[in-house]
Amino acid sequence: MKQETGQVFVFPNPVALVAVADESGNSNLITLAWVGMASSEPVHVTIAVRPQRYSHDLLRSAGEFTLNVPSAEMVERVDYCGSVTGRDHDKWTEAPFTREDARRVSAPLVAECKYALECSVVQVVSLGAHDLFISRVLVAHADDSILDPHGHVDFTKLDPLAYVPHEYRRLTGETLYRYGQSLRDRKSQG
């Protein structure tokens, strides 16, 4: 029998390095795990940020950001960017990460991340502890080294981080089942 619990999580969560820039071109990085897909056509993603975070006001005023997907080998630097504030630290230098110009937004891409999205905020919803930034994806970037022969991102080559309560985890990449396979299997059993 299931018991009630005070621990409420949906997991695992993808881990992202979100970059945002102010009107003077100063930029900051924030590590987020409250990240998700919101719509596939047109493509929208969401990020949730606490209002007291330094990047929150930057995001509100800029209205755009880059969402960069770090690999598991970057875990120490990613954790650092989520553990110190941009008010007092230059995370780009201290982590360190390299800025790369984006095509459509003022925020830089993280050069070390092999997959990244340029995003424009379309709505901010205050939900309590976090504000949800609903954002349209303007451009997706993928390094050739993580693409399969069909030009799709091979997530085993990307080796993204996942977050479960208080821990970063590596995804194994093992395919257990394909979407819609149950219907195909039932048809073939006839």
pLDDT tens for the 190 residues of the chain, in order: 998 988 888 889 999 999 999 999 999 999 999 999 999 999 999 999 999 999 999 999 999 999 999 999 999 999 999 999 999 999 999 999 999 999 999 999 999 999 999 999 999 999 999 999 999 999 999 999 999 999 999 999 999 999 998 899 998 777 778 888 998 888 888 7
Q: Which two tokens stand for residue 42?
A: 């047109």
Q: Tokens 């047109």 appear where?
A: 42
| 3-class secondary-structure state, position 173 | coil
List of residues 6+ apart from 164 with CB closer than 8 A: 9, 11, 12, 13
Instruction: Say what the pLDDT of residue 186 is.
Output: 87
Instruction: Say what the pLDDT of residue 176 is.
Output: 73
Instruction: Say what the pLDDT of residue 5 is.
Output: 84
Question: What topology is assigned to 13-189 in CATH?
Answer: Pnp Oxidase; Chain A (2.30.110)
